[in-house]
Amino acid sequence: MPHVLHRAEIVAVGSEMLTPDRSDTNSLFITSRLNELGVQVAAKAVVADHAGTLTSVVRGALDRADLVVLTGGLGPTDDDLTRQAVAAVLGRRLVEDSAILDAIRERFERRGLVMPEINRRQAEVIEGAEVLANAFGTAPGQFIDLGDRALALLPGPPREMRPMLEALLAAQLAARSGGDRLFRGTVRLVGRTESHAEERLKPFYERWAAAEPIVSATILAARAQIELQLWARAADAVRGQTAIAAAIADVAGEFGDDVVSTDGRSLEQTVGDLLRDRGLRLALAESCTGGLVTSRLTDVAGSSDYIERAIVAYSNQAKIDWLGVPERVIAAHGAVSEDVALAMAEGVRRLSGVQVGVAVTGIAGPGGGTETKPVGTVCFAVVGPGEAHLVRTANVPGNRTQVKSFSSTLAIDMVRRAVARI
């Protein structure tokens, strides 16, 4: 049986993360995933692109921890020192891997480019390391098993690091975590503040903590969405899955319509699936959100099945010309009003020949606020067949990008609520 890993240290490599306004966020994700396997993080470091410092930090971490996870410093430049530093600490050579070299060359060729000579360096592998494929970038990762200890070298960009870590956890690390498996569930909510949700969840937390297996929960709030992550550790799959399913049922019962999904799907995916299932197409009219609602909905693969078109009508003239909003409605109620939102949604629906129209108009700031309509005042409308009409005004907190982001969530969620009635 392999040595069970207990204590990890995380080392993020890169001078750019040592400036006053940058942080290493990779370590949060890595901590979360390691904790779930029962591995504690005892320390983490951010280190400049400086060979002596990096070597010393890695040596220290390897003295103390049985798992060292490094991120960053795998690029092709002189500043990218992670491979050399780890090789130096282990007293091992770096060997060029021709398969990796070919893959990097091909990656450049696919874009019509010749691989620059310096990228050769990314094909260097520490002797005895296992190569971790990188589906989203040139730099492969490396995993080095020392028996009683292990090191992982992962790339810095989160979109490359995360899938590589997931694969590493599933393959090399799961076997080293002691026998229990982790079971997870996710409930997404829109329409509650974090503290309100927390208050309603408290009695459940207590009940789950007393259950066997224990169900633990973390609440995350972002962009007006709440994500409740649930997990339980159990050796037995049926017991683990049952505990998670029961906890999900508790939350779903408590929050009703505010529950977006209980199966991990994002809000955008959930809305897309609702539209597709009902054979409906959506058209959008955005003002203050500046295209963000449409951009988020079209992040979902296959969204061309149900997204027909959108207008970003930033000026009043665009609202009149392209959405058929009557000039007198703007004059009477102002461009930021439920009447204008409704006229925009009706206009874009009619002119696009689709079943569902949604509109957002508001004041993203920092300018443009008034006493009666301060920055953050945002009006929404959804129009669809039958009873599927919703209009509302929200006071959205934060700065310009926060108002855009928060409002885009509320708009997408209104589509969800309206379409669910159809």
Q: Quick one: 56 or 241, whose CB is closer to its own copies?
A: 56
DSSP 15: G
Binding piece for its own copies, criterion CB under 8 A, among 85-93, 142-150, 236-244, 309-317: 309-317
User: Counting contacts by CB under 8 A, is residue 308 touching its own copies?
Assistant: yes
Under rule CB under 8 A, which residues in 235-294 are in contact with its own copies?
Answer: 284, 286, 289-294
Which of 110, 212, 371, 387 contacts its own copies by CB under 8 A? 110
User: Counting contacts by CB under 8 A, is residue 398 touching its own copies?
Assistant: yes
Which of 37, 46, 123, 247 contacts its own copies by CB under 8 A? 46
Complete edge-to-edge strand list for the sheet that includes strand 390-395 = 282-286, 356-362, 377-383, 390-395
Helices (H), 37-170: 51-64, 82-90, 98-110, 158-168
Q: Quick one: 113 or 211, whose CB is closer to its own copies?
A: 113
Which residues are within 8 A (CB) of 332 and not within 5 positions of it... i.e. 6 or more apart? 339
Name the strand (E) or helix (H) holding 30: helix 26-36
**Cβ pair 345, 380 in contact under 8 A:** no
User: Counting contacts by CB under 8 A, is residue 210 touching its own copies?
Assistant: no
d(CA 234, CA 212): 9
**Minimal distance in Å, beta carbon 198 to its own copies?**
5
Q: Tell the burial category of 42 from Cβ atoms under 10 Å away from its Cβ (0-12, 13-18, 19+).
A: middle
d(CA 16, CA 46): 10
User: Counting contacts by CB under 8 A, is residue 107 touching its own copies?
Assistant: yes
**Cβ pair 166, 82 in contact under 8 A:** no
User: Counting contacts by CB under 8 A, is residue 73 touching its own copies?
Assistant: no
**Cβ pair 264, 338 in contact under 8 A:** no
**Cβ pair 254, 191 in contact under 8 A:** no
User: Counting contacts by CB under 8 A, is residue 106 touching its own copies?
Assistant: no
d(CA 252, CA 261): 9
Binding piece for its own copies, criterion CB under 8 A, among 93-101, 139-147, 236-244, 316-324: 316-324
**Minimal distance in Å, beta carbon 385 to its own copies?**
20
User: Counting contacts by CB under 8 A, is residue 175 touching its own copies?
Assistant: no
Which of 2, 4, 77, 277 contacts its own copies by CB under 8 A? 77
**Minimal distance in Å, beta carbon 66 to its own copies?**
13
Binding piece for its own copies, criterion CB under 8 A, among 86-94, 217-225, 266-274, 324-332: 217-225
Q: Quick one: 309 or 333, whose CB is closer to its own copies?
A: 309
Which of 96, 214, 218, 236 contacts its own copies by CB under 8 A? 218
Which residues are within 8 A (CB) of 171 and not within 5 positions of it... i.e. 6 or more apart? none
